[in-house]
Structure 1
Amino acid sequence: MKAFFANFYRNLFLTNRLFAALGVVAVLFLLSFFLKWLGDIPLICFWVLVVVTLADIWLLYRLKKGVYCKRLAPERLSNGDDNEVNLFTENLYPFNIDLELIDEIPHQFQKRDVSFETKLSSRQQKMINYLIRPTKRGEYHFGMIRAYVKSPLGLISRRYNFEQTDILPVYPSFLQMRKYELMAISNRLNEIGIKKIRRLGNSMEFEQIRNYVAGDDLRTMNWKATARQGALMVNNYTDEKSQHVYCIIDKSRVMKMPFDGLSLLDYAINASLVLSSVALIKQDKAGLMTISDKKGATVAADRRPTQLNKILEVLYKEKTSYTETNMELLFSTVRKVMNQRSLVMFFTNFESLSALQRQLPYLKRIAKYHLLVIIFFENTGLKELSEQSATNVEGVYIKTIAEKFVYEKKLIVKELARHGIQSILTAPQNLTVNTINRYLELKAKQKI
């Protein structure tokens, strides 16, 4: 009995409508001192209010469970994307109710106002959905669902607590990966910014002999098959397959810089996952390496059906460190793991030309054995400052310094090109599109 009353007291809340009614009764009692003709009207109003309040309590507490709520969430969340969460609710009362739902979302979002108000008729079911956008990988703990119910009288509110402590892992952006997968399969990558690359020459990988169609390259004509069939026949070539494509991700302090809630490491991880997916669709072999001051994870290049899941599981656990990149260790690992010429996409960041000079000797040695593409990031904040007009001396100084750093990024691109190393300088939000464009370009030009 004691537990019942304790639970009753904790879940009983007074509404603004009740306080307004009490205020009216109090005013009537006050006026009755000056207006004798009011007589017992204030007292009658008070007891009517008490009776109605007790009736409201009886309506809400007559059933042990008057509402049902459940959270319907995906098994895992996609980092940096909008993920949909659904709240299912059902009214078990024999009358209409006003319902307020509060979902206790993970503390990483720093939001305590995820509440929804709705009206439900008797026995009605409703689905409420909302979006959450995680910006860090790891485990996200959801708390309880709290439902506040009011009857048509609306004088009190009863709270229901639904224990549903879901723990959802946040993985690299698999939603983005699926989007690019569908586009690649249906040859519609150009709809999301992927350029169509003009082929230079023919691939050397023979596919089949087929009938000549107007517009075919006459250099692919198969004269022996033409003589046998009595009709023009041409050789059909396809993209070379089983080429090794490796993504190397720098996990050092240079990748900890934030942009739009995500770190540069997270952008690199999301882009690596999408690039690996597209490479596997193109029937190439995708691999992965991570590096900081110590050797990180390594996934040998392969194109088995389980390869993408293996890469996804590895990327889920990666975190940045506050150390410098050990380029000597990277070079030795590359020589040990990559047994044949591969396309190496190295995700890192340089803020100054001197930072590049320290790593350039090792990058040149890697480029000697593999096709190396250095991918680093524009500082969008400095770029915006350099494009603003200066109105005073301080503004001129800030603009000049910003332009200096922006120009130094361009010098890094030229310095890499001078040593025969390709590079991509991109804003974080354009990283995935620019990376896939370069991969398709190199594949079309048969440089891998």
Structure 2
Amino acid sequence: MMKLFKNWWGRFLFQDRGIVPTFKLLFILLISGLLITGLSLLGASWIFIGFLNAVILLISLVDLFFSPNRNQLDAKRVMPKEMERYANQTITVEINNYSKFSCEIRFVDGIPTSFQTIFPVNYKITTGINGINYQVFPLVRGKYGLEKLYVRYKSLYGLWEKQITFKIEETVKVIPNLTEAKQYLASSQRYLLHEGLKIRKQKSGVGEFAKVRNYVVGDDPRKINWRQSAKLQEVMTNDYEPEHGKYVTILIDCGRMMGVELQHGNRLEKAMEAAITLAAAALKNGDYVSVVAFSKGIKAYVPPAKGLDHLDVILKSIYHIQVDASESDYVNVVQYLQTLQKKRSLFLLFSDVHTFIHEDRTLLFIKRVRKKHLFMMIGIEDELLKERIKIYPETQVIAMEKTMAQKEVQFKKQQVLKWDNQGIIMLEAPEDKLAVTAVSHYINQLNRGLL
């Protein structure tokens, strides 16, 4: 009995198949019930009352014949295979009506609970193919499966609703947000505008030959291409740019401290978005990029390659990475990279500075690595710590909290300066500036010719 009740209750909640009365029919039954009650009080016979009930029920059932049969409806879902986190996406449901009847439908799609949307979707379909769009807002990265589409459609006069469930299996990947990466690829100099950093050539006439162009006022006369100038009868100059083919290794910490929640997502989410933006910048510059995601062990490794097509390989390899409950093993990942990366490379680690500066064994090991490779670590500023420093000490408790916050910041500055003098760069940036900080320091290393 309980199983049968659950089955019918499931059908009432947009599951499986069935026919349910609408509020219009219930209202009609309520009015007719009041009229029949009044007639019975006036002495109407039970035969007449039963006949009247049968007529009302028969008329309502006739309304079912003026609606499409279940086998006359077909549905298909049109959606992207990849969606960006925190970006509105459009999903289209195409319902093909093979009958001659129009009807009002409402449906609920079987999307994951981590997708924000508004259901049910209401629409009036006609004969033929009807495309219905609705918006979703993915919140959590990962791979998700969509299976069922639950549809209800009304009869001609809206007295009954038929239920039908379409089994439409789809798979969608929610990848990190690529807004900043797209901004950089669209205009790298505009993206770095607020940093006051320009992508400069290293030295005059040094680096890779790029092209021959028209001479303009301010160009170095020593770079004039006299042969091309003689051929074209106008002054031409050689254009050089920094050498390409450098090796950049991006390390993404997935340990416990990267799960700290920020205003928009957690530290890992911001680190992944910044890492992808940095990878796009390096790949656009013609460098080789490899990516390692790690915590206690290696979670994902993408071998070095160049070309913007490699960005898609990186996304497919790391889009599903989540925070682990364990502490990160920095020495293990650096040793692992040393066995794979023989050429001089820029190791750029996205992690938590506070955790990193307490790893004395790690820092001593990286000091040895620094002899061959460049090493840079970037973290996200602790907004709570900054707020505690700015607060006015009205009470003893607040004054104590402010003192401890100042002490922590001072200790961090001392440690960062100490290791910076030994060639290990550690930076912190606000969560909304993490990507641009990483890209600007990468460009700075190229401009200075250190890589």
TM tier relative to shorter chain: 0.7 to 0.9
Paired residue for 1:17?
Answer: 24
Shift of 1:242: 0.8
2:200 — aligned with what?
199
Do structure 1's residue 67 and structure 2's residue 73 form an aligned pair? yes
Q: 2:94 aligns with which of 88, 93, 105?
A: 88
Picking from 100, 107, 119, the partner of 2:106 is 100
Deviations 1:308-344 (A, max 9, x none): 3443343245444333333333343343333232222
Query: What is the distance in 2 between the residues matched to 1:149 and 1:351?
Result: 58
Cα distance in 2, alignment partners of residues 371 and 212 from structure 1:
37
Equivalent residue letter for 1:118: Y
| Consecutive unaligned residues in structure 1, runs of 5 or more | 1-5
2:103 and 2:126 in contact (8 A); partners too: yes
SS at match of 1:163: strand
Note the C-alpha offset of 1:267: 2.9
Distance 1:214 1:251, change over 3 A: same
CA–CA separation in structure 2 for the residues paired with 1:317 and 1:281: 24
Counterpart-to-counterpart distance in 2, 1:271 and 1:168: 23
**Secondary structure class of the residue paired with 2:152:** strand
Q: Is the 8 A contact 1:206 1:235 kept in 2?
A: no
CA contact (8 A) 1:352 1:408 kept: no
**2:273 is aligned with 1:283:** no
Q: How many residues align?
A: 437
Are residue 158 (structure 1) and residue 162 (structure 2) matched? yes
CA 1:228/1:429 → structure 2, altered by over 3 Å: closer, same or farther?
Answer: closer
- 1:54 is displaced (CA, Å) by 0.9
- Between the two proteins, what is the percent identity of the paired residues? 22
1:147 deviation in Å? 0.9
TM-superposed deviation, 1:163: 0.5
Which residue does the alignment assign to 1:3? none
Question: Does the Cα contact within 8 Å between 2:330 and 2:362 map onto a contact in 1?
Answer: yes
1:159-308 equivalences under 5 Å are: 159-173=163-177, 175-176=178-179, 179-180=182-183, 182-184=185-187, 187=188, 189-190=190-191, 196-197=197-198, 199=200, 202=203, 204-207=206-209, 208=211, 210-218=213-221, 220=223, 234-259=237-262, 262-295=265-298, 297-303=300-306, 307-308=310-311
TM-score, length-normalised on structure 2? 0.80
Q: Distance in 2 between matches of 1:84 and 1:349?
A: 36
The question of 1:348 aligning with 2:355 is answered: no
Q: Distance in 2 between matches of 1:327 and 1:157?
A: 61
Give RMSD over aligned pairs. Answer: 4.0
Distance 1:225 1:104 in 2: 65
3-state DSSP of counterpart to 1:165 = strand
What is the TM-score when the length of structure 1 is the normalising length? 0.81
Q: What displacement does 1:398 show?
A: 5.0
Note closer, same or farther for the CA distance 1:149–1:331 as it changes in structure 2 (3 Å cut).
closer
Aligned 1:292-331 pairs, distance under 5 A: 292-295=295-298, 297-303=300-306, 307-316=310-319, 318-331=321-334
Moved more, 96-105 or 406-415: 406-415
**1:378 offset after TM fit, Å?**
1.7
3-state secondary structure, aligned to 2:108: strand
Q: Tell whether the 8 Å contact from 1:352 to 1:409 is kept in structure 2 after alignment.
A: no
CA shift, 1:277, in A, is 2.4
Deviation at 1:133, TM superposition (A): 0.9
